[in-house]
Amino acid sequence: MTALPFPSKRAPIYRDVPDEKWNDWRWQLSNRLNSVEDFEKVLKLTDSEKKALTAQDLFRVDITPYFVSLVAPDDPYDPIRLQVIPTANEIVPFTGMMEDSLAEDRHSPVPGLVHRYPDRVLMLVTTQCASYCRYCTRSRIVGDPSATFSRAEFEMQINYLKKTPQVRDVLLSGGDPLTLAPKLLEELLARLREIPHIEILRIGSRVPVFMPMRVTEELTNVLQKFHPLWMNIHVNHPNEISAELAEACDKLGRAGVPLGNQSVLLAGVNDCVHLQRKLVQDLLRIRVRPYYLYQCDLVEGAGHFRTPVAKGIEIIEGLRGHTSGFAVPTFVVDAPGGGGKIPLAPNYLLSMSDHKVVMRNFEGFVTTYEEPLSYQPHNPETCSYCKSKRMEPGQAGLTALLDGEAMFIKPEGFDELHNREGGMHRLRSDQEKWKPLGIGPGKET
């Protein structure tokens, strides 16, 4: 790999740690920081941070020695510090706060499996992470060792997928799949790859950012067995891009794993168009394509991270045309209540009629495009692709849009499942039909 000008840092307290330990991901996990005493060996804590770190029932705190070494020790506004070290702001409630802001429980036909979109599912495989983001969407379950998934629940997930042929894309998340025991991760990937209709496997992980030494030859050898396999990492600020992260991404790329990046728009951390331009350009240098920029979700403890939606649109406006097109992520609001990801962008379309479209470019230049005088559209009656999407009534899984309606049909063989109240294990298998929120005219869950 060509040498890239990204820093490699190690806090003074760790300078005498032998390289073989420092570069061992298990050592990093075993030596995470989580108390006032731990952090005061590395940083000068503020009163607000001390108050939060000693508060009862606060979302779990754990930070790897590697990641805390990226923090400027005397800067209370350091952008990495703000993401992982709690402050008293987490204790302040805010309007709109929701426990399950994305209504994932409502779209879970079996424990840990979220089937919100027609052809893809989210498979939650662990509740553990290498470090914990203070704005975590799943803070209601993540970080709790007692809430981890059992083998029986994994079997329910696999059986559901086997009986739901519409699913072609499975995203492994959690928690962080790369914190799983290596043998368990390989077993899960192998079980999924055995299902004929599953085409794509994806992993969502912040482990390469929190703990890049986890990306070992052993891991890449496992991942490349299961192609096509994609991975999205999570970098919010240019300061998170280090020599170690660049090396980890290079290893993944050489193993054939395409990499994308998902960022969250965070007040005081990355709500700046110039910073965002630097971030996406640095990501491309380590062969990671910007994918999503998320509006911060309405989760408990994250009110102080929220920005106006207009700020995200402003950032996209400052990226489009000012850097490479494939460096521009899609800005999305993951709709509260389970409506899914809604893309938002600057308004480049000014007006349109049956013969002319009026548009502007990123510089404000206004132009027109003449519509065709005659247009012969494609005929769905003769299109083999359209015909193949017309499904037989009663087929298990999520149907296509039929007469303007989309619905879940209860998967065959899951009659014995029962509702479980509380947390992410709320099932709805007692209903003959599950209507996903916001799909089809006037439909509500």
Q: Which of 81, 116, 134, 410 is catalytic?
A: 116
Is there a catalytic annotation at residue 386? no
Q: Which of 117, 272, 289, 360 is catalytic?
A: 117
3-state helix, strand, coil in the chain (%, to 5): 30, 20, 50
Is there a catalytic annotation at residue 285? no
d(CA 132, CA 2): 32
Selection from 424, 442, 430 nearest residue 107 by Cα: 424
Selection from 294, 293, 291 nearest residue 335 by Cα: 294
Selection from 394, 434, 444, 441 nearest residue 108 by Cα: 434
Q: Which of 134, 138, 202, 277 is catalytic?
A: 138
User: Per the structure block, which two tokens stand in for 216?
Assistant: 């070992």
Q: Which of 341, 360, 426, 428 is catalytic?
A: 341
Is there a catalytic annotation at residue 320? no
The residue type of 61 is: V
Is there a catalytic annotation at residue 430? no
Our measurement of the distance from residue 401's CA atom to the centroid of its chain's CA atoms, rounded to an integer in Å, reads 27
Is there a catalytic annotation at residue 116? yes
Q: Which of 78, 100, 271, 297 is catalytic?
A: 297
Task: Give SS3 for 310.
Answer: helix
What residues pair up with 409 in beta bridges, in sequence order? 397, 433
Selection from 224, 15, 31, 68 nearest residue 216 by Cα: 224
Is there a catalytic annotation at residue 191? no
Q: Which of 133, 214, 249, 292 is catalytic?
A: 133
Q: What is the DSSP string of 167-233?
A: --EEEEESS-GGGS-HHHHHHHHHHHHTSTT--EEEEE--HHHH-GGG--HHHHHHHGGG-SEEEEE
Is there a catalytic annotation at residue 334? yes
Is there a catalytic annotation at residue 297? yes
Q: Which of 136, 140, 176, 249 is catalytic?
A: 136
Q: Which of 78, 105, 129, 292 is catalytic?
A: 129
Selection from 7, 19, 5 nearest residue 69 by Cα: 7
d(CA 167, CA 154): 17
Positive or negative: CA dihedral 152, 154, 159, 160: positive
Q: Which of 32, 66, 81, 120 is catalytic?
A: 120
d(CA 370, CA 38): 65
Q: Which of 78, 105, 334, 410 is catalytic?
A: 334
What is the set of active-site residues? 116-117, 120, 129, 133, 136, 138, 297, 334, 341
